[in-house]
Amino acid sequence: MTKNLVVGAGFSGAVMANLLAEELGEEVLVIDKKDHIAGNCYDYRDENGIMIHKYGSHIFHTKSEKVWNYIRKFTDFNTYMHKVIGILDGIETHIPFNLNTLYDVFPNSFATKLEEKLLDVFAINTKVPILEFQKQDDDDLKFLANYVYEKIFLYYTTKQWGVSPKEVDGAVTARVPVYLSKDNRYFQDRFQGIPLEGYTKVVERILDCKNIKVKLNTEYKDINPDDFDRIFYTGPIDEFFEYKYGPLPYRSVNFKFETYNKPYYQSAACVNYPCNYDFTRIHEYKYYLDDQTDKTVIAKEYSEFFELGKNERYYPIPTEENDELYRKYFEDGKRLEKVYFLGRLGDYKYYDMDKAILRAIELFEHIKEKTNG
Ligand code: FAD
Ligand code: UDP
């Protein structure tokens, strides 16, 4: 029987293992160097009964029916729709900046004037990346664009990435566009929610197949690759090649957890601080599954550079220079006959969960086609 090794028990590795085992009936060994499955999506219930997302808040959202149909085989979702509050110079409002935000931060008459001007230029419900939004001719709209740039993007992005919004790939800030709408949700995707029993349970079920074995606390370097017909590597591609072209840069995150003896700490699951403090945002976990407890747990999120041996890789940094470096590893990877790279670290791509799952499904479909001739 064909033997597969999957390195990494996050969503990418788990989905790949599941499809190989279920659809092709092949043997799969999944290893992970951590002491748990689910990678960065790992969650657990703490002593207060609150579901904690250990590596930061994870909200499932997708436009892809294929991904939704796949993941729904393993879990039901609640109807949670993510809303993010931002504190702009002390004023609580909605992020992304939308037509309601105008009325929160400006006097009514000025907000009305801006809304009218905006709807003359843009169609209702348009999403405009901030770097595009700044290209305005009208003085009031120029003022507004600078306001949004400075109050929402400039300091937050500098905290998050270590550089200004103009120095990171435009796709990064475009994830949170100015939204010409009164819809306060963070995501407009058709499918969204939180798995009712958490992400770890979902990954556990994805891996629960007769032909899959999972070994935790196990590093790729401790395995003999010759024992396997195929290897699916969801770890960092530069590490695989022993950094021969130099390390790929990452941002890391440090979460400082605090417990409070009161039912709630803040007004939403996620509150961004784009103007103040060294942390970027505060997560309050009990909102996601509506956990009913007298206490609450929050985490303040601090961003920092990834340093080997000091912290973990969280975000690939999408710049042209880093992409060029990645391409060198990618080209070397393509030349390896039985090794396939995937996932946020293997592909060095800023994937959300749905994109990581879709990538694994599509790579599997390619392998299946090759296998079946
Ligand atoms: P990972 O989850 O990183 O899994 C890779 C696994 O490989 C890890 O468990 C690692 O231990 C293991 N590994 C690495 N190297 C080795 C090795 N040499 N030997 C053995 N094991 C190894 N996505 C959303 O859709 N919604 C969100 O709200 C969201 N929020 C996020 C918030 C934060 C702070 C972060 C960092 C990410 C967020 N994401 C979100 C993205 C989501 O975490 C990723 O899409 C998803 O985790 C990708 O899964 P993966 O399997 O590719 O990678
Ligand atoms: N961003 C910002 N201010 C905010 C929210 C987001 O400047 O209040 C920018 C920032 O550069 C961030 C990017 O938009 O990295 C994407 O935000 P998102 O919330 O999608 O990031 P993630 O949840 O993946 O960390």
**Domains in the chain and their CATH numbers?**
4-79+191-248+316-372 (3.40.50.720), 84-179 (no CATH)
Give the pLDDT confidence score for residue 373 in this predicted structure.
74
Nearest-atom index, ligand 2, CA of 156: 7
Nearest-atom index, ligand 2, CA of 186: 19
Alpha-carbon distance of 180 to 124, in angstroms, equals: 5
Give the pLDDT confidence score for residue 316 in this predicted structure.
96
- 48 is written with which tokens? 């207060």
Nearest-atom index, ligand 2, CA of 152: 3
Alpha-carbon distance of 298 to 276, in angstroms, equals: 18
227 Cα distance to chain centroid = 33
Q: Which residues contact 12 (CB under 8 A, 6 or more apart)?
A: 39, 234, 342, 343, 344, 346, 356, 357, 359, 360
Give the pLDDT confidence score for residue 372 in this predicted structure.
83
Ligand lying closest to the C-alpha of residue 156: 2
Q: Is 39 in the pocket of ligand 1 (CB under 6 A)?
A: yes
Q: Which residues of the chain have pLDDT under 70?
A: none
Q: Is 316 in the pocket of ligand 1 (CB under 6 A)?
A: no
Alpha-carbon distance of 241 to 36, in angstroms, equals: 25
Contact indicator for 70, 361 with CB cutoff of 8 Å: yes
Give the pLDDT confidence score for residue 93 in this predicted structure.
97
Residue 345 Cα to ligand 1 middle (Å):
8
Distances (CA, A) of 280 to 154, 272, 273, 340: 12, 6, 6, 35
Residue 355 Cα to ligand 2 middle (Å):
17
Give the pLDDT confidence of 285-333 residue by residue, as tens digits.
999 999 999 999 999 999 999 999 999 999 999 999 999 999 999 999 9
With CA atoms as reference, report the closest residue to 232 among 2, 65, 1: 2
Residue 152 Cα to ligand 2 middle (Å):
9
H helix or E strand, kind and range, residue 369: helix 353-371
Mutate which of 128, 157, 276 for ligand 2 pocket (most atoms within 8 A of beta carbon): 157
Prediction pTM value: 0.97
